[in-house]
């Protein structure tokens, strides 16, 4: 059992009090042990009481029964067999909390701690169960002069949210939607890709968050400089020369075209003027001949 889970759950049991109406949420991880807190009012001894732990949505609904100063597990739901126990040494102090070991995803739900002889005192506990996984980052390859990274987290529940961040904590856009699948137990596997350029330190983070159980895991990766293609000065020089040459050819063609257009216009204008002059001369000659005949 993880130490942080034990500390969290111990603090919950110490501070919890019985309630007839309120629902106390408890978070546990798959495989851990969890304590569902329940304490009698006014610290009344529970040694001689009947204690009924139930989960109403199950059939049978009995999780753990205590009667006649001993456990009575005849009616216990088989899914809890060998995984439940009371704190017998604490019954004298009114502590009727239930310990549930080797938590499963199917254990999630509302549990009731019911004391029939004490004015039907009932405490409702909501157990939230999560499965977590630290993400794994793989350098998949290149796309142009950028590196493709893949992040994967498997065996997660509830469904996590995955995002990428740079070294400054800025969220990076993923290369497409997150891919999600589920296994037979209902756990999620999520995969996300990101395409990153060379940066100052080439450090990138994949973050997996499960908001319902307030859980977050991160994995950081450093991409070596040699993964990014090096700049070749010869290539740069050739590129610049080709660009200049293309621009020079374009300018030359433009000037030639402009000169041709001007020449064409000039020749057309000259031809037009000659035609007009010829036409005028012919008209003048015709007029002279007409006058002579008269």
What percent of the chain is predicted at pLDDT more than 70? 83
For residue 254, the model assigns a pLDDT of 82
pLDDT at residue 278 tops 50: yes
Report which of 188, 186, 170, 167 is spatially closest to residue 178, judged by C-alpha positions: 188
Report which of 219, 267, 31, 239 is spatially closest to residue 130, judged by C-alpha positions: 31
Q: Average the pLDDT over 243-250 and give the result.
A: 85
Mean pLDDT of the chain: 84
pLDDT at residue 7 tops 60: no
Q: How confident is the model at residue 17 (pLDDT cuts 50, 70, 90)?
A: very low
- pTM attached to this predicted model: 0.65
pLDDT at residue 69 tops 90: yes
Q: How confident is the model at residue 234 (pLDDT cuts 50, 70, 90)?
A: low
For residue 19, the model assigns a pLDDT of 42
For residue 139, the model assigns a pLDDT of 93
Question: CA 77 to CA 269: how far, in whole Å?
Answer: 108
Torsion sign (Cα): 62, 67, 71, 72: negative
Query: Residue 96: is it exposed, middle or buried by C-beta count within 10 angstroms (0-12/13-18/19+)?
Result: buried
Question: Per-residue b/e over 203-226, b at no fewer than 16 CB within 10 Å?
Answer: ebbbbbebeebebebebebebeee
Q: Average the pLDDT over 85-97 and give the result.
A: 95
For residue 34, the model assigns a pLDDT of 98
Segment 192-211, tens digit of pLDDT? 999 999 888 899 999 999 99
Residue 101 · residue 33 · CB < 8 Å: yes
Segment 20-58, tens digit of pLDDT? 446 779 999 999 999 999 998 777 899 999 999 999 999
In a 3-state reduction of DSSP, which class is residue 92? helix
């Amino acid at each position: 059992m993880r130490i942080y889970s034990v500390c969290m759950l111990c603090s919950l049991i110490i501070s919890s009090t019985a309630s007839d109406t309120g629902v106390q949420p408890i978070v546990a991880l798959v495989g851990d042990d969890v304590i569902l807190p329940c304490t009698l009012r006014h610290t009344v001894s529970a040694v001689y009481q009947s204690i009924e732990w139930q989960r109403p949505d199950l059939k049978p609904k009995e999780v753990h029964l205590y009667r006649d100063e001993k456990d009575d597990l005849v009616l216990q739901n088989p899914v809890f067999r060998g995984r439940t126990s009371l704190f017998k040494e604490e019954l004298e102090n009114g502590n009727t909390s239930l310990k549930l070991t080797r938590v499963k995803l199917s254990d999630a739900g509302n549990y009731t701690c019911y004391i029939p002889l004490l004015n039907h005192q009932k405490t409702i506990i909501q157990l939230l169960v999560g499965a977590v996984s630290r993400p794994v980052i793989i350098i998949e390859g290149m796309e142009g002069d950028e590196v493709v990274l893949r992040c994967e987290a498997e065996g997660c529940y509830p469904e996590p949210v995955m995002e990428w961040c740079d070294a400054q904590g800025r969220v990076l856009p993923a290369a497409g939607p997150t891919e999600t699948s589920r296994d037979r137990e209902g756990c999620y596997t999520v995969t996300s890709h990101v395409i990153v350029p060379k940066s100052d330190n080439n450090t990138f983070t994949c973050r997996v968050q499960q908001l319902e159980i307030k859980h977050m895991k991160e994995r950081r990766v450093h991409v070596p400089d040699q993964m990014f293609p090096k700049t070749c000065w010869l290539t740069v020089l050739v590129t610049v020369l080709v660009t200049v040459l293309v621009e020079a050819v374009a300018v030359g063609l433009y000037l030639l075209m402009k000169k041709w257009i001007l020449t064409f216009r000039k020749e057309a204008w000259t031809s037009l003027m000659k035609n007009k002059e010829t036409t005028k001369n012919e008209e003048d000659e015709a007029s002279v001949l007409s006058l002579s005949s008269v």
